Structure 1
């Protein structure tokens, strides 16, 4: 199901290349984690408002959502380019024909963005908005092979289930990896964390049993969002980690700092937490 959601995002961005693409600002102000959390919350609320846009309110709500995305990028950063892609896809928000397939798909992308960043408090409302947008997309665009319906079915009744989030990090928004698998090979632990939401986010690292200390997971650490990032050692806010507990089926630690992808794009991580029981 996760790959279908990613396909919808990519399809939208591919079909809107004729829209005005306005790049996000490169100079991001240095704001604290609290400011970033507020910016993410405002973006998700703007996305929910946009999900119920009609002919009369489309431009206003689209513009508000677009501005919230830009503000989030300036405050939190957007090193993986995901916010910029959505802004580019929205264009100048002048398209107000709600029964157009591209507009319906744009609203799906908006509500999916909100749902991907949902918290326990707003999970149900964001999920229902995402479902409504998907149902509207089926009515307007059709649904070959029932791919969209499959996503709707996977959302169920939008009741939040209690998940044990064992790995989390703030990277342009809170990323929670609630599906964690630990493979034991001899004296080595191979840890993979994935999200149960409709995306392909993943974190991976290896560590020897009973090993603790600073930066012991760094050589094998990988974070996959839109692309795969690795620890940066360029001398500016370098990636660091600290495993404090590694015994009796429990692995606890923290991580933060800069990671970089194969193209040299940097991403700043904060508040990385590891709290695994296996």
Structure 2
């Protein structure tokens, strides 16, 4: 019931943009910043809901996500193509969780989904997908072998610092230091239904398979420090990997 209520609420917000007596023109989208903010928030909410997808609700949650992405592209544009990339990955929402996806192969990290949207690149627009906000972690992969072994490959590492903007208590200016690295971690893995269990010898992590995407929940995966190290911001993360 909670999910149904949420989806109905999101549907109302989305249809509020399209049920006017006159069609919305492109000029309207450019001039109405508030509509862009609402559309972006709808996309973030739909992305979070989609992380809990299962066989029964896949088409419904996927369609809601697609509609939110389309609305955000109309109201906000898509200068870097990231929204179109997300839209393409969803396909036609024909219950991707029932498709047979071969786990062996290379999976590329395509999203960091946080708990709250932030503006890491200081461009005035917050995003709940932190990878959209930085030029780091661009080639992080997991290679699953058919013999249930594999390798997690890390090519970069970021440190996040921030300063509280003068005159505010909850607005920040972030600094990101991205360092290149070449770190490979051997893993073993197993699959039970849509659950993928990954063991790196120290930590066991369970991921959820949604079509060609694998989501891994990382508690306190995002940590940022104030420049004087007196304040720390922590969020749980969901790493999303897409089969290549």
- Give TM-score scaled by structure 2 length: 0.39
Structure holding more strand per residue:
2
As a proportion of its length, which structure holds more helix?
Answer: 1
